[in-house]
Structure 1
Amino acid sequence: MVSGVIFGGLLSTCVVAAEAPNAEERNKIEMLLAEAAGKMIYLTKQCDKPVDPEKFKELSKLKAFSEGYQSIEGISWEHVRDEANQKYGELNAEGPDGEFCEQYEKDIQNAYPFLKPM
């Protein structure tokens, strides 16, 4: 990964090699993303506030980085999807009529502060 940093008006380019997370870190990242994705599915289906899955993947990189992970290389999107659908099922069982729309919208805004309000 190449990133540019400005020091005193000069552009300095440095190369940072982000290591792929190990198996334990990948699992933690996947669970972190699945929790947010489950809430986003709930917001989409129960609250009529759709979230684009492709944008979620891009945002996931930023979220993982903000949590201290340098890379999401090697995570299983299928595992994230499956866990997210399971979490959505649990959330939907607890609030089938959209009772948690406001709470989950705030949770997502807190987890992804760079998103525009829904």
Structure 2
Amino acid sequence: MAFIVPLKEKTLMEVKLGELPSWILMRDFTPNGIAGAFQRGYDRYYNKYINVRKGSISGINMVLAAYVVFSYGISYKELKHERRPPPLPSRLTARSSKEMAQQLEIPITKPDGQCLCPGPTRT
């Protein structure tokens, strides 16, 4: 004979999608209720990953990884302005090299020595 568990005592994984709004409204959102939820979460994490017979570094690594991701998310606005500029094209076209030479005032000459630059020629 199976008995029915009240909705308030069900865990999140046991709640059906239709029951979710009423389950959320039954939660305790007072400061003591929120502190209790964090305490239960910490106890569950500690007993699963830290307080074990054959402990490893995986529990601490998860905390560090979460800290790194959280810190990156917090400082993303400042970090996105420090990105590298996009790379320059590998080959410059003849048109862009002429424009660059004009901006730098460098004369461009043909193989026969004739200057292609506008304006006065330099000798």
Larger-gyration structure (1/2): 2
Confirm or deny a common fold (TM above 0.5): no
Class of the TM-score when normalised by the shorter of the 2 chains: under 0.3
Q: Structure 1-normalised TM-score?
A: 0.28
Question: 1 or 2, which has the higher strand percentage?
Answer: 1
Q: Which has the higher contact order (CA 8 A, sep 6+)?
A: 1
Q: Structure 2-normalised TM-score?
A: 0.27
